[in-house]
């Protein structure tokens, strides 16, 4: 378990994710949190829809984090994001050839990005789903090679990051920018409200 920039002796919640992007988004909200380790199998099950897949993994990650929380009543937040085209979930590229194939497939087309968010405390569980449509422009092969050489696509679902260099490929977005990044702020806020987590009380302090 490690502390976030906004963590305290009494965090609002635990984040079951090592993603710097999710940590940054939660910090941007003003939520005080600590991170907890989680280890789940991220394989897609037979006949599992992308919507069910991201919600299931978000829940499994949150549940896995329960054992590492600092107090028995600290809620745990989990999230999972999937890039989907032609009803196929694109994971993280294993090598340059896989990244090239993904970007060539996404270029000039519109795909879906789904992020499931789950909050659990051992007794109560709640989930939310964010769905966005992202259109990429045509991408020159030389750009793809330069992008892979940057190192950014290697650990990104769909082989691009909207908040990074890959943002130059995005022609249009309908939905949640933060959801495409990996943690939709609207849905996360909604979940925290359902659990009575008034994270806004930190705003005055953090703004100073």
Active site residues: 80
Count of CB atoms situated within 10 Å of the CB of 118: 25
Inter-helix orientation angle 185-194/20-29, to 10°? 60
Counting Cα atoms < 13 Å in the Cβ hemisphere of 60 gives 12
Contact 33, 8 (CB under 8 A): no
Q: How far is CA 46 from the centre of its chain?
A: 23
Q: Which burial class, exposed, middle or buried, applies to 59 when counting CB atoms under 10 A from its CB (0-12, 13-18, 19+)?
A: buried
Q: Which burial class, exposed, middle or buried, applies to 23 when counting CB atoms under 10 A from its CB (0-12, 13-18, 19+)?
A: buried
Q: How far is CA 205 from the centre of its chain?
A: 27
Q: Which burial class, exposed, middle or buried, applies to 85 when counting CB atoms under 10 A from its CB (0-12, 13-18, 19+)?
A: middle
Of 54, 19, 50, the residue nearest 36 (C-alpha): 19
């Amino acid at each position: 378990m490690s502390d976030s920039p906004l963590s305290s002796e009494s965090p609002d919640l635990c984040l079951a994710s090592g993603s710097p992007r999710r940590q940054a988004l939660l910090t941007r909200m003003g939520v005080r949190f600590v991170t907890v380790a989680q280890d789940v199998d991220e394989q897609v099950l037979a006949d599992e829809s992308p919507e069910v897949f991201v919600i299931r993994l978000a829940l499994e990650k949150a549940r896995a984090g329960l054992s590492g929380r600092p107090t028995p009543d600290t809620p745990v937040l989990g999230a999972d994001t999937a890039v989907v085209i032609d009803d196929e979930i694109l994971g993280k590229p294993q090598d340059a050839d896989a990244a090239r194939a993904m970007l060539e497939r996404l270029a000039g087309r519109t795909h879906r990005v789904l992020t499931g968010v789950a909050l659990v405390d051992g007794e109560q569980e709640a989930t939310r789903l964010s769905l966005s449509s992202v259109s990429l422009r045509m991408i020159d092969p030389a750009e793809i090679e330069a992008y892979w050489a940057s190192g950014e696509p290697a650990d990104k679902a769909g082989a691009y990051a909207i908040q990074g260099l890959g943002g130059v490929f995005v022609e249009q977005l309908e939905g949640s920018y933060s959801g495409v990044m990996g943690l939709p702020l609207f849905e996360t806020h909604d979940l925290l409200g359902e659990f009575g987590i008034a994270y806004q009380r930190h705003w005055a302090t953090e703004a100073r």
